[in-house]
């Protein structure tokens, strides 16, 4: 069986001097350097009695040391549990309790938030070819228990919990290899590519579609610990050939350029830009392509499907705003009983090598989404167009029923996002007596707030009456996950004073 880390081992032997990684702290590693770092950290983990099947939790932000921790764990047959250091203490502790790791590694030298967690957990510092890490050998009851996990299990990823409590998604070596390989093939990646790694490695998008794809092909990854529109802009003008991001990142870098009086990125090297984790709308897509000077490819994925499900292969200027056809090897079908039979709209169900093994220590949750034939229920509502391309119309749990009519948030968001003073928006339903009202949260730039009445008129010109927001709340920032994805489930509470 081919293992996730075998690709790193191959390039370390075949191309030891090829650049592999650099990070925002100034560390630069070749594939030989990365391999030696993994070996050195592996010796520590072995001394700590890490055995196949044990969990090693890595509290991190993007850095070379993070990658060493991921692969060193895998090389020992242990299961890596990447956790974003920007999570709050209760969130980290819930994962610590549930995953019961043998060892916790924290990238304290590369992340002030990881350093804070290291301090409160009383972790000690170790150093070596991997750099410097804080480490805690877990003292929690039950941490030494051997869970009956499959030898195929490589990574345990805890979801951000946008629809409930976080769950541990079990991804196999083959899941990661399929996801990374599909991404590399889709992007026509080669060893000469330089990939911008701003998506967190603790998230499946960054782990599978960016890091794994790059290591499989032997490309270089320039890691960025945190998104900054300014750093993103300058990085993409400094040799980067591929970038994957979420719409919020694209929107913020375009806003940064606009404030500097710049209309285009002007990079001679950039050849591939993709967007995922949220829908596109036609006007926004046109503006993004004009800014980047290359086609903006859209995609659809989820943690439980190792990031990749569908992706576009469009030319610049193509008005298509679908998420494209399914990736080769992925089967899709729609359960129209969820969307109102016969409407062509239904819950997206999928099957393939990308589908997770299940949820860790949660057989009930696994059975609720994954059937005996391997079909995974996504919770997302979709429809196919005449070309067989999938369009996502929102999560089934995000569907707003207002006055007896179905309102899908992406449609309302697209209408608002077309306004020139809107950076991005998020639409949710709010329960009121006997109904749900449509509420829009709109991010705008400081000093450039639109008139609310004008924004309402603008939206009214594009939306049927029942789809128009009852409330539009303007803000300079919206609560977001480390990936930049807006946390819709937090919006109503975050802006509770607006409803008093």
The CA distance from 424 to 283, in Å, is 12
Give the pLDDT confidence of 91-106 residue by residue, as tens digits: 889 899 999 999 999 9
Where do we find the tokens 């990238």? 107
Lowest mean pLDDT among 241-245, 363-367, 390-394, 462-466: 462-466
User: Which residues does residue 58 pair with via DSSP β-bridges, in sequence order?
Assistant: 82, 105
Q: Are 183 and 307 in contact (CB under 8 A)?
A: yes
pLDDT confidence of residue 342: 60
The CA distance from 457 to 310, in Å, is 35
pLDDT at 237 over 80: yes
The CA distance from 418 to 321, in Å, is 14
Average pLDDT over residues 77-90: 91
pLDDT at 85 over 60: yes
Residues 6+ apart with CB under 8 A from 152: 1, 172, 173, 174, 357
The CA distance from 49 to 33, in Å, is 25
Give the pLDDT confidence of 108-138 residue by residue, as tens digits: 999 999 999 999 999 999 999 999 999 998 7
Give the pLDDT confidence of 283-302 residue by residue, as tens digits: 778 889 999 999 999 999 98
pLDDT confidence of residue 141: 42
pLDDT confidence of residue 273: 96
Indicate the angle between helix axes 89-99 and 112-120, nearest 10 degrees: 60
pLDDT confidence of residue 406: 65
User: Which residues does residue 126 pair with via DSSP β-bridges, in sequence order?
Assistant: 133
The mean predicted confidence, pLDDT, of the chain is 90
pTM to 2 decimal places: 0.83
Residues 6+ apart with CB under 8 A from 90: none
Where do we find the tokens 């409160």? 120
Helix (H, G, I), strand (E, B) or coil at 133: strand
Report for 164-178, 203-217, 436-450, 464-478: range of highest mean pLDDT: 203-217
pLDDT confidence of residue 312: 95
List alpha helices for 204-265, DSSP H. 204, 213-217, 229-235, 247-259
pLDDT at 63 over 70: yes
Compute how many other C-beta atoms are within 10 angstroms of the C-beta atom of residue 280: 24
- pLDDT band of residue 163 (cuts 50, 70, 90) is very low
Helix (H, G, I), strand (E, B) or coil at 124: strand
pLDDT confidence of residue 143: 46
pLDDT confidence of residue 151: 81
Q: Could you tell me if residue 280 is left (phi over 0), alpha (psi between -120 and 50 degrees) or otherwise beta?
A: beta
HSE of 272 in the Cβ direction (CA atoms, 13 Å)?
22
Kindly list the structural domains of the chain, giving each domain's residue range(s) and its CATH number in brackets, ordered by start. 6-175 (3.40.50.12780), 227-395 (3.40.50.12780), 399-499 (3.30.300.30)
């Amino acid at each position: 069986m081919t293992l996730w880390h075998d690709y790193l081992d191959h390039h370390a032997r075949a191309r030891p001097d090829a650049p592999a990684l650099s990070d925002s702290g100034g560390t630069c590693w070749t594939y030989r350097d990365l391999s030696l770092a993994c070996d050195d950290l592996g010796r520590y983990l072995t001394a700590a009695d890490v055995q196949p099947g044990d969990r090693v939790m890595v509290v991190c932000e993007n850095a070379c040391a993070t990658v060493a921790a991921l692969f060193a764990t895998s090389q020992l047959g242990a299961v890596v549990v990447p956790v974003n250091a920007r999570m709050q203490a209760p969130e980290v502790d819930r994962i610590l309790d549930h995953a019961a790791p043998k060892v916790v590694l924290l990238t304290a030298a590369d992340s002030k938030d990881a350093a804070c967690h290291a301090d409160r957990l009383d972790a000690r510092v170790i150093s070596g070819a991997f750099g410097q890490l804080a480490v805690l050998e877990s003292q929690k009851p039950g941490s030494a228990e051997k869970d009956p996990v499959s030898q195929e299990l490589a990574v345990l990823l805890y979801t951000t919990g946008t629809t409930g409590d976080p769950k541990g998604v079990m991804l196999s070596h083959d899941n990661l290899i399929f996801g990374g390989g599909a991404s590399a093939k889709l992007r026509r990646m080669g060893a000469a590519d330089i990939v911008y790694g701003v998506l967190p490695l603790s998230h499946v998008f960054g782990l599978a579609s960016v890091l794994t794809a790059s290591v499989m092909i032997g490309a270089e990854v320039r890691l960025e610990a945190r998104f900054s529109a300014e750093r993103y802009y300058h990085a993409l003008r400094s040799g980067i050939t591929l970038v994957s991001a979420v719409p919020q990142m694209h929107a913020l870098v375009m806003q940064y350029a606009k404030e500097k009086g710049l209309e285009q990125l002007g990079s001679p090297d950039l050849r591939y830009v993709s967007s995922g984790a949220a829908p596109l709308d036609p006007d926004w897509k046109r503006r993004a392509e004009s800014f980047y000077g290359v086609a903006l490819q859209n995609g659809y994925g989820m943690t439980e499907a190792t990031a990749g499900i569908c992706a576009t292969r469009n030319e610049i200027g193509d008005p298509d705003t679908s998420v494209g056809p399914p990736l080769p090897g992925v089967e899709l079908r729609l359960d129209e009983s969820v969307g109102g039979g016969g409407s062509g709209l239904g819950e997206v169900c999928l099957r393939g090598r990308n589908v997770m093994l299940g949820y860790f220590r949660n057989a009930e949750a696994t059975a609720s989404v994954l059937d005996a034939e391997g079909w995974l229920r996504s919770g997302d509502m979709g429809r196919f167009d005449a070309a067989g391309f999938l369009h996502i119309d929102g999560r089934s749990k995000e569907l707003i029923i207002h006055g007896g009519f179905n309102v899908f948030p992406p449609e309302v968001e697209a209408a608002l996002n077309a306004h020139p003073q809107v950076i991005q928006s998020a639409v949710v339903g709010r329960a009121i007596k006997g109904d749900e009202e449509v509420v829009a949260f709109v991010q705008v730039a400081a000093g450039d707030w639109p008139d609310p009445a004008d924004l309402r008129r603008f939206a009214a010109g594009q939306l049927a009456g029942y789809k128009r927001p009852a409330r539009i709340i303007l803000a300079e920032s919206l609560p977001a996950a480390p990936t930049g994805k807006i946390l819709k489930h937090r919006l109503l509470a975050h802006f509770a004073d607006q409803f008093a």
